[in-house]
Amino acid sequence: GQNIDQPTEMTATEGAIVQINCTYQTSGFNGLFWYQQHAGEAPTFLSYNVLDGLEEKGRFSSFLSRSKGYSYLLLKELQMKDSASYLCAVDFNKFYFGSGTKLNVKP
């Protein structure tokens, strides 16, 4: 792998904002993906960052800093249905996934 690290688990409250970080120790990759995976289901695409900076898509935003070796996924106005695992993946034409961050949203 490419030493992709994510926190194992996070808990946040409905309506709040949460930031899920992904750090990596590699360079020269094409871009970085974020996927959402509900328990027992297949992953679904959230975002893909090529350039440094923030990409916003509704309640979800993703940020990439190649020079600092990290990305984050920002979820706003959390809803109960956002409880899921969030996977970051580095794209080298092969794809290296982190182990995922399990997000628990509480009322």
- Give the C-alpha separation, 43 to 46, whole Å: 9
Counted residue by residue, the chain has a size of 107
Out of 3, 54, 56, 95, the residue judged to bind other proteins by CB under 8 A: 95
Angle value at C-alpha 79, between 16 and 86, nearest 5 degrees: 90
Out of 24, 43, 63, 71, the residue judged to bind other proteins by CB under 8 A: 43
Out of 30, 65, 79, 104, the residue judged to bind other proteins by CB under 8 A: 30
Closer by beta carbon to other proteins, 11 or else 95: 95
In Å, how far from its chain's centre is CA 20? 6
Q: Judged by CB under 8 A, does residue 91 bind other proteins?
A: yes
Tell me if residue 57 falls in helix, strand or coil.
strand
Residues in contact with other proteins by CB under 8 A are 30-31, 33, 41-45, 48, 50, 87, 89, 91, 93-100
